[in-house]
Amino acid sequence: MTLRFVLHYGIHVFGPLLAAIMFYKPKWIKAYLIMLCGFLIDVDHLLATPILDPNRCSIGFHPLHSYYAIAFYVILVFPKKTRWIGLGLVIHILADLVDCQLMS
């Protein structure tokens, strides 16, 4: 296992957990599970050939990882009703950004 792999997936899994425990302690399990759903935006990898390319940066390449989508995810953080979803998506993008930086 490489450092890149550990950091990338560590942020994907433990980033939402840390945010849920730190900011939503009374409802941390529900917050964590909702934020963990940020993984679902990786469905856009199915549109690419090859589906998984370890040397490809997702940011700006896949539709749900586009800069327009990222701006929308940031906006979702502000309304209380969409905050957990927005945080999960933003944490997902941050994990992918770390992966892109370690790749170069």
pLDDT digits (tens, 9 = 90+) for 24-51: 999 999 999 999 999 999 999 999 999 9
pLDDT band at residue 21 under the 50/70/90 scheme: very high
Statement: residue 1 has pLDDT above 90? no
Report the pLDDT averaged over residues 16-23.
Answer: 97
Q: What is the pLDDT of residue 14?
A: 97
Domain range annotation of the chain: 3-103
Contacts of 16 (CB under 8 A, 6+ apart): 31, 32, 35, 36, 38, 87, 88, 91
The alpha-helical segments, DSSP class H, found in 1-104 are 3-23, 28-36, 67-76, 83-103
Report the pLDDT averaged over residues 68-75.
Answer: 98
Q: What is the pLDDT of residue 104?
A: 77
Q: What is the pLDDT of residue 96?
A: 96
pTM of model > 0.85: yes
pLDDT digits (tens, 9 = 90+) for 72-97: 999 999 999 999 999 999 999 999 99
The encoded tokens of residue 43 equal 């469905």
